[in-house]
């Protein structure tokens, strides 16, 4: 059996969406209605993108919603809509589809003739090809309508080879459905790692706390307070970090008594050796 499809270049009729706002309002209306395909219901953003994708290949808004689908994470077009786009292209001379053989010897053939080209693009997709691809015998259409599925595969390859400009690179949904879905790597929440500067400030804060706790005179606490101010002005400490250290220093000053006469010495920096020496004193 053979079919030849003539070219139809009549413009599509339907609603003309003149602006983005018009398109989005229309998408919201469709998404909340029963006219939206199941995957688009309640999803006006998906409706809008499907309409935009369809308009780029020449489909009206409603045709786009019925013909554009996202399969395994990529936009596709249903096989009959792909054929319709090719039919309406002025460069299409004809498309012929037929089958040969029966059973395991069944072969689907698609001939797509581009105007001005000497020979048509011919693609054959056999039951043997389907078996090699792991398609033959799959539950669903491949078991119920194997001839139809072979035809759609041959059609998809032929139309993409001969009329890539008309399809804008879209593959058929039937072909995309037969590809295995990509495995998604689970994303696990992880504790954000501190930046190097944050780490240095945190380590210095620990040394400062120890130095404040080990200080034995008010003069020593004032030295530490001056260092904290310098590091705040330099941006090394945040205001919150500096405020914490100042409060610790003020608390220690209040606890100091005039009877302590010894004055400890040291530098303005909180190094590990200084802290250990003050702790042993």
Question: What ranges do the domains of the chain cover?
Answer: 3-178, 196-280
What's the mean pLDDT in 34-44? Answer: 89
Q: Say how far apart CA 92 and CA 196 lie, in whole Å.
A: 63
Confidence band (pLDDT; 50, 70, 90) for 6? Answer: very low
CB 65 within 8 A of CB 30: yes
Return the pLDDT at 247: 86
Instruction: List for the chain the helix, strand, coil content (%; round to 5).
Output: 50, 10, 35
Rounded to the nearest integer, the mean pLDDT of the chain is 82
What's the mean pLDDT in 237-255? Answer: 84
């Amino acid at each position: 059996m053979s079919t030849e499809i003539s070219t139809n270049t009549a413009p599509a009729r339907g609603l003309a969406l003149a602006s983005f706002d018009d398109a989005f309002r229309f998408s919201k209306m469709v998404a909340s209605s029963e006219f939206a395909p199941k995957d688009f219901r309640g999803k006006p953003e998906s409706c809008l993108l499907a309409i935009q994708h369809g308009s780029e290949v020449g489909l009206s808004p409603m045709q786009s919603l019925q013909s554009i689908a996202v399969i395994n994470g990529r936009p596709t077009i249903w096989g009959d809509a792909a054929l319709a786009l090719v039919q309406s292209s002025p460069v299409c001379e004809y498309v012929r589809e037929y089958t040969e053989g029966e059973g395991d010897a069944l072969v689907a053939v698609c001939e797509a003739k581009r105007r001005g080209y000497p020979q048509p693009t011919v693609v054959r997709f056999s039951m043997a090809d389907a078996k090699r691809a792991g398609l033959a015998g799959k539950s669903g259409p491949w078991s119920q309508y194997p001839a139809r599925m072979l035809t759609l595969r041959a059609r998809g390859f032929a139309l993409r080879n001969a009329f890539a400009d008309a399809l804008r690179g879209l593959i058929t949904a039937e072909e995309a459905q037969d590809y295995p879905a990509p495995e998604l790597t689970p994303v696990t929440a992880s504790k954000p790692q501190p930046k190097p500067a944050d780490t240095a400030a945190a380590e210095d804060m620990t040394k400062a706390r120890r130095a404040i706790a080990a200080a034995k005179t008010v003069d020593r606490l004032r030295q530490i307070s001056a260092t904290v101010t310098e590091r705040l002005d330099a941006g090394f400490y945040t205001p919150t970090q500096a405020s914490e250290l100042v409060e610790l220093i003020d608390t220690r000053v209040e606890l100091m008594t005039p009877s302590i006469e010894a004055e400890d010495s040291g530098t303005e920096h909180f190094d590990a050796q200084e802290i250990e020496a003050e702790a042993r004193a």
